[in-house]
Chain A
Amino acid sequence: MTETSDSVTLTLAPAGDRLPEFRPGQFAMLYAHGIGEIPISVSAIPGDGTLVHTIRAVGPVSRALHDAEPGTVLGVRGPFGTAWRLDDDEGLLLVAGGIGLAPLRPVLRQALACRSSRRVILIAGARTPADLLYREELRRLSDMDGPEVVLTVDRGEVGWNGRVGFVTEPLATHPIDPAHTTALLCGPEPMMRFCARALLGRGVPAERIEVSLERNMQCGNGLCGHCQLGPLLVCRDGPVVGYPVAEPLFPVKEL
C-alpha cells in the first residue's frame, strides 16, 4: 500500500514456517535477494502470522523493498530487539517524527484495542502534509472518541489547516499528567533529544521516557558489533531503550 511518494506498507505472508509473534518496537531483518538486508520495525502486528512493515526508499535495499511487487519473495529474520514498554495503565504519550511513526503505530493500535481507560496522545510531525504516514487512519482516529492526535508539519501547504511547526511545540503545551505519563519517542535523534528535554522540563520522570535508536544493524544477534553505541549493541539491547540509558550517549559525537 502506498503511503507517501517514497513510502509503502508491505504485508508479508510466510512462505515457510511462521515467525514468532513480534512485539511493538521490535524489528525484522528484511533481505531483498541479491541486493542486501536492512532492519525494519514492524508497523502493525495483525496476529495472523503476517508481518507488516512500512518502508521509506532511501537506499538500494529499501528501494528494492519499496518497489517489490505482490508475490515477490523476500528473506526475513526476526524478531529482533527490545519492545516499547506497555505494561501499565499510565497515560501514553507517543511522539513521532517522519518515518518514526511506523514503529509506534502498533502501540497506538494495541492501546486502542485494549479499550482501557488509558489516555493516549499522539503527536506526529512530518516535512509536509503529503509526507504524513497513515493520514487516513489518523484522520479516522481523530474522529473517534479515542486517542488525541496532534499532527504538525514543517511546511504548511494550501488546504492544510493543521499545525505548522516542530513537534516540540505542541509537546510543550499539550495537557498531560507528567507524573503518570509514559512517553515513547521515535524519530531523528535531535528530535528525540529535544522532545525528551521538553518532557523532563514538564516533570515527566526520565525513567518513563523511552526512545528508539537507529544504528547500522546487521546480524541482529549482538555478535557482529556493527551497531555498537557505547556500551550498547543496539540490535540486541535496543532499539528501544530508556532515556536514562540514551541520554549520556546522545551528546557523544560520531558514536
Chain B
Amino acid sequence: MTDPHSGTPLLAGLSEAQRSVVEATGRIEEYTPGTRLFDEGGDADRCWLIISGQVAVDTHVLHRGPVTLQSVGAGELLGWSWLIPPYRWHFGAVTVAPTRALVLDASQVRVLVETDPELGFLLTRILLETLVNRLQATRLRLLDLYRNPA
C-alpha cells in the first residue's frame, strides 16, 4: 500500500540514499486554501510533491478570470517547467484546500540530475511518467467521453 504519510511516494523507486539526497534539497511547507504558489511566466525555481490537500493548475482567460485546467492532489507532482529551459511556469497554481507539500529547490535538483547520471535518469523517468499520465488523461478528456451522444 502506498504510504499516505510518507509524502514522497513518487520517490519510492529511489534508493534510501538517493531519496535522502533529493529530499535534502527541500522542506515541508503548509498552505492555506487560496495560496497562489506560482503564476504564468514566473521563474520555475521549485517543484512540489503534494503530501495532502489539493492544488488547482490554472490559466487566466480574458473576461473569465482564472480557469482551472487540472487538479493536483496527494501523491502527485506539481510543476515540471523547472527541468527544461527557459524555466518559466506555463500556467499558474493555487491551493484549493489546506495543503502540505515537500517543496524541492529546482536549481539543486537540476544539479543532481546533471552530476549523477543514475539519479538523473531515475528522476527524469519519474517526471516522464507523470507527464505521460497527464497527457493520457488530457487526451481522454478531449474525447469528451461523458458527452450525451444524442
Structural contact, A156 and B137, CB atoms closer than 8 A: no
Q: What B residues does A63 contact at CB under 8 A?
A: 150
**Bound state CA distance, A99 and B75, in angstroms?**
28
Contact digits for B134-150, partner A, Cβ 8 Å, 1 yes 0 no: 10111011011111111
**What bracket does the count of chain B residues touching chain A fall in?**
20 to 34
Chain B residue at smallest Cβ distance from A59: B150
- Evaluate whether A164 and B1 lie within 8 angstroms (CB atoms) in the complex, with A58-B149, A173-B76 already known: no
Cross-chain contact B69 with A173 (CB below 8 angstroms):
no
A187 within 8 A of B: yes
Given A173-B74, A175-B1, A177-B1, do A127 and B146 touch, yes or no (CB 8 Å)?
yes
CA distance in complex: A165, B143 (Å): 13
B15 at interface by CB-CB < 8 Å: no
Question: Contacts A97-B145, A176-B1 given: A58-B71 contact, CB under 8 Å?
Answer: no
Give chain A residues whose Cβ lies under 8 Å from the Cβ of B150. Answer: 57-59, 63
A127-B146, A173-B9, A191-B145 known; A163-B71 Cβ under 8 A: yes
Indicate if B133 sits at the interface (CB-CB under 8 A): yes
The one of A58, A160, A178 in contact with B148, judged by C-beta atoms closer than 8 angstroms, is A58
Given A164-B56, A164-B69, A170-B73, are A175 and B4 neighbors across the interface (CB < 8 Å)? yes
Produce 1/0 per residue, A161-190, CB < 8 A to B.
111111011101111111000000001101
Q: Does A98 contact B (CB under 8 A)?
A: yes
Q: Which of B4-52 contact A (CB under 8 A)?
A: 4, 9
Residues of A within 8 A of B97 (CB): 161
Contact present for A97 and B146 (CB under 8 Å): yes
Query: Does A6 sit at the interface, judged by CB under 8 A?
Result: yes
Contact call A168/B137, Cβ cutoff below 8 A = yes
CA distance A131 to B54 in the complex (A): 22
Which among A126, A154, A191 has the highest number of chain B CB atoms within 10 Å?
A154
- Determine whether the beta carbon of A188 is less than 8 Å from that of B146: yes
Neighbouring B residues of A56 by C-beta, 8 Å: 148
Q: Which residues of chain B come closer than 8 Å to A169, judged between CB atoms?
A: 71, 76, 133-134, 137
Would you call A194 and B136 a contact (CB within 8 A)? Answer: yes
The closest CB in chain B to the CB of A170 belongs to B73
Q: What is the 8 Å Cβ interface bit string for chain B, positions 72-84, against chain A (1 contact, 0 not)? A: 0111100000000
Closest Cβ of chain B to A41, distance in Å, is 16
Partner of B137, one of A58, A166, A176: A166
Given contacts A57-B150, A164-B70, A169-B133, whether A194 and B144 have CB atoms under 8 Å apart is no
Contacts of A175 in B (CB 8 A): 1-4, 75
Which residue of the partner chain A has the closest CB to B97? A161
Is A152 interfacial (CB 8 A cutoff)? yes
| With contact pairs A57-B150, A126-B146, A154-B144 given, residues A165 and B133 touching in the complex (Cβ less than 8 Å) | no
Given contacts A98-B146, A152-B71, contact A178 B137 (CB under 8 A): no
B56 touches A173 (CB 8 A): no
Docked complex Cα distance between A164 and B67 (Å): 10
- The residue from A97, A125, A127, A178 contacting B1, defined by CB atoms under 8 A apart: A178
- Residues of B participating in the A interface, judged by any CB pair closer than 8 Å: 1-4, 9, 54, 56, 65, 67-71, 73-76, 96-97, 133-134, 136-138, 140-141, 143-150
Other CB < 8 Å A-B pairs besides A154-B144, A163-B54, 9 of them? A99-B146, A152-B71, A154-B141, A163-B73, A165-B70, A169-B76, A174-B75, A176-B1, A188-B145
